[in-house]
Structure 1
């Protein structure tokens, strides 16, 4: 069915984002414009505009005379992004601890209960979705649109790689414990502890991704 939108290229961009984040369009894969336009029943113009948006976001890269490809996140990218993300999301946790109402904390508690259920059942995709919702909720509770905007841009890039870290041995349980530490600090309105716990959570995410990269390299060398 043909897409209908007041801003068609925005809707096309969102559909492509979802296909990239779901893994349907894998890192490094070529984006065949004629095939995509046919699949979406659109002309090439809104598709090209959508690809420009995704290129600006860092999800897609354009190579002259070759076309567009889904971007691949490098270890250098992650080394550069995570310290910034850690600082910014830590600040969000600090602000959220100061601003969260009792109702906000109840909603966060429900999300953490869902997170724990997914961890026990080892439903990694569902766990990641709940994890993402918790981060988004804390960012929202901080009430700082500038923080939210910058974090949103960075999270789009990291999202290409972050799901992988949950497959590392023991990482699912560690991630849950880290989230529970953040929530415990939020519940007591301890802003400094919430910031510190969020920083630890993100630093350990980066280390898990680094360990996975080392393991992949080791397997290729063998």
Structure 2
């Protein structure tokens, strides 16, 4: 949970937006949850004005939805949203991998290997939350190494919506094992300097995430129907 540190008066709504964004990504505020503005304003010892300004910022980013005369709630990703988003992210992240391999220096590749080893550690422990965080760091590093401001802009804009799912697909049986195997062949392609192969593997890695998510959702729906 975000630490309740004092907020500075200057650019207060920006600081509040940063704090709210972290709460959404960390699932302190979960998809579909109504945001209790009064409680937050009281806990953070601020007025509701900067809070409302911050919520407008998050609404412009698509992370929350403003509902007239009702308030504001965290955005939920529907099945259709996921079906449409993942293929686009697969293309973007695939391109990130391609450009990263072409531009990476030996020290950069070494850092990616280090991040991969963190993933291996969490995979062995079946630590879903740790694996999710390490995976996000690995993908972000690949994106940074691509060093393409236009690609960066498009990827950042859409990645925040993937973060709303917070790696739910990792709960599907066998997904962590499959994911780390996908990462193993990806890091091998990166270390061999094979940009085209890295692009294909990263693309397929994202699409495998979608397949696992769809399988998990189908299972949850079937279980819910059986218990209805």
Q: Which residue of 1 aligns with 2:124?
A: 120
Following superposition, the deviation at residue 57 of structure 1 comes to 1.2
Alignment of 1:206 with 2:186, yes or no, is: no
SS of residue in 2 equivalent to 1:61: strand
Match in the other structure for 1:136: 140
1:115–1:130 CA contact under 8 A, matched in 2: yes
Residue aligning to 2:59: 55
Alignment partner of 2:69 out of 65, 68, 80: 65
Listed one character per residue, the Cα deviations across residues 134-163 of structure 1 (whole Å, up to 9, x for unaligned) are 000000000101111111121111111142
Q: Is the 8 A contact 1:5 1:11 kept in 2?
A: no
Q: Distance in 2 between matches of 1:13 and 1:166?
A: 28
For 1:179, the equivalent position in structure 2 comes to 183
TM-score, length-normalised on structure 1?
0.97
Count how many residue pairs are aligned between Structure 1 and Structure 2: 222
**1:191 corresponds to which residue?**
195
Question: Displacement, 1:84?
Answer: 0.9
1:74 paired to 2:75 = no
Which secondary structure state, in structure 2, belongs to the residue aligned with residue 73 of structure 1? coil
Match of 1:39 among 43, 46, 49: 43
TM-score by length of 2: 0.94
Deviations 1:80-131 (A, max 9, x none): 1111111011000000110000000111111111110111011111111110
d(CA) in 1 for partners of 2:164 and 2:207?
A: 17
Deviations 1:164-192 (A, max 9, x none): 11111000011111111111111111110
- Note if contact 1:162-1:209 (Cα within 8 Å) is conserved in structure 2: no
Match for residue 167 of structure 1? Answer: 171
Distance 1:58 1:93 in 2: 26
> Structure 2: which 5+ residue stretches go unaligned?
none
CA distance in 1, matches of 2:70, 2:9: 30
- The answer to whether residue 151 in structure 2 is matched with residue 147 in structure 1 is yes
The yes-or-no answer on 1:28 pairing with 2:5 is no
1:96 to 100, 109, 112: 100
> Superposition RMSD on alpha carbons, in Å?
1.1
Shift of 1:216: 1.2
Distance 1:68 1:201, change over 3 A: same
- Runs of 4 or more consecutive aligned structure 1 residues displaced over 4 Å after TM superposition: none
Deviates more, 1:70-79 or 1:5-14: 5-14
SS in 2 for 1:23: coil
